[in-house]
Amino acid sequence: MKDIKEIISYLKDKGFIYSGSSIYGGLANSWDFGPLGAMLKDNIKNEWKKFFVDKQENIFHLDTGIILNPKVWEASGHVGKFNDPMIDCKECKTRFRADHLIEQEKNIDAENWSFEKQTELIQKDIKCPVCQKQNWTEARAFELMFKTSGSKTSEEETLYLRPETAQGVFINFKNVIDTMNAKIPFGIGQVGKSFRNEVTPGNFIFRTKEFEQLELEFFIKENDSQKYFNLYLDKIKSFLLSLGLNKANIKQEEVDKDSLAHYSKRTVDFEYNFPFGYGELLGIADRGSFDLSNHSNFSNESLEYHDQKNNEKYIPHIIETSMGVERLFLAIISELLKTEQDGETERDVLKLPYTLTPYKASIMPLTNKLEEEANNLFKDLLTKDLGPINFLKGGSIGKRYRKQDAIGTMFCITFDFDSLEDKKVTIRNRDTMIQERIDIANIKTYIEQNAG
């Protein structure tokens, strides 16, 4: 696995990720996804949606607002409670998340300690890792929700940017039942941006203030919690392997009872062995009936499910899987960007599964003299629903192969002088590097059969 500096410079150089707001001198810890990054991100989201929503018989998809009625965040327990402990070094002014500092310097899990206890240990025993001095503020609450405001008649109203997509799902639970004839057990998935004013964003795109989540809320009867929790544990494992991640780099961590979030009865985190060490990739939680009960109480709307067949009414329980697109993106690149020996030289190759590759194929004229004919073939292939393909001229064919290997393009198709006569092209496979001569008319079928 490459180190994080190599990965960042690779992603910047190739057009996957740019530093945010760079022409204005940047904005700390913000990143923009370039053309290839946007394509890869879309492919990750599509794969998630295919796997968890489209290929399931009882899962629906939603697209709810980023700004919701602020009561939603009172009912969910976020207002006033969604805080992290922040502590500052008075000497060099560096800010830390207190529990992370304790974990990092003393290897103690202090996530559930009171702010006083965290302050006491840090002030007594920890030097600032940046300036080595020991002069700390108190640890104090840092509100994670981003506030904004909207005008309601003549008054300003405090509104929040959602810190998770899940609440939009819970508040539409009844709408989905009423309009889609949904019957328990069923699920609702949502993909979208979430925002958290993290105390210490960092580790590249691992922790940022805005990010995208892939969340699935599965509504069940209480007694079925264990069964569906285990089912989703298995589904998550298959999904992660289908993205090309290696089992050996994935760790499953049962969160101990004392560290559970306020809404959770059980949580299992999946951690990935990133270049900077293990970090949370996703979580699966048994949220019990916490969310629907609270929304029911706060809104005065009954969110009971009426099981007409058995004539019973109850508040469903929820099994949630929640993952971050950027963390999956970083794990996939860390895992699949390889430098391989190719004869006397080396090549960088991004071994993405076909479904994730930004470009499925690249069309190359052997020399610029063949540009027009090769470009006609390219334009024709664009109409064949192969997915994104590109056209690459100039430079030696070997160098062009390398360029495409490095961005994960699965097939390179070379149009040469013989192609004018025999209506064939040479197609080269990214992973095996085997080249075959095939009929132009068969390109689509060949790709479909060899996409892997």
User: How far apart are the C-alpha atoms of 136 and 115, rounded to whole Å?
Assistant: 13
Read off the tokens for 133.
């001095």
Q: Check residue 327 for interaction with ligand ATP (CB under 6 A).
A: yes
Q: Confirm or reject binding of residue 336 to ligand ATP (CB under 6 A).
A: no
Which residues lie across from 341 on neighbouring strands? 346
If binding is defined by CB under 6 A, does position 78 make contact with ligand ATP? no
- 287 is a contact residue toward ligand ATP (CB under 6 A): no
CB of 163 to ligand ATP, least distance (A): 8
- Applying CB under 6 A, does 284 fall inside the site for ligand ATP? no
Nearest alpha carbon to residue 169 among 124, 120, 109, 213: 213
Q: Which long-range contacts (CB under 8 A, 24 or more apart) does 284-287 make?
A: 284/229, 284/232, 284/233, 284/236, 284/319, 284/320, 284/321, 284/322, 285/261, 285/319, 285/320, 285/322, 286/225, 286/229, 286/317, 286/318, 286/319, 287/217, 287/263, 287/317, 287/318, 287/319, 287/320
Smaller CB separation from ligand ATP, 38 or 386:
38
Q: Which is nearer to ligand ATP, 69 or 200 (CB)?
A: 200
315 or 323: CB nearest ligand ATP:
323
Is residue 318 within 8 A of residue 409, CB to CB? The reply is no
Q: Which is nearer to ligand ATP, 280 or 304 (CB)?
A: 280
Which range binds ligand ATP by CB under 6 A, 44-52, 55-63, 91-99, 206-214? Answer: 206-214
Residue 360 binds to ligand ATP (criterion: CB under 6 A): no
Smallest separation (angstroms) from ligand ATP to the CB of 165: 9
Q: Given candidates 225, 294, 322, 357, which one binds ligand ATP under the rule CB under 6 A?
A: 322
Q: How far is the CB of 206 from ligand ATP (least distance, A)?
A: 6
326 binds ligand ATP (CB under 6 A): yes
CA distance 403 to 6: 17
Q: Is residue 207 at the binding interface for ligand ATP, with CB under 6 A as the rule?
A: yes
Lookup: tokens for 97: 């998340």
SS3 state at 151: strand
Is residue 322 within 8 Å of residue 192, measured between CB atoms? Answer: no
Residues of the shown chain interacting with ligand ATP in the complex, contacts defined by CB under 6 A: 196, 198, 207-208, 211, 213, 280-283, 322-324, 326-327
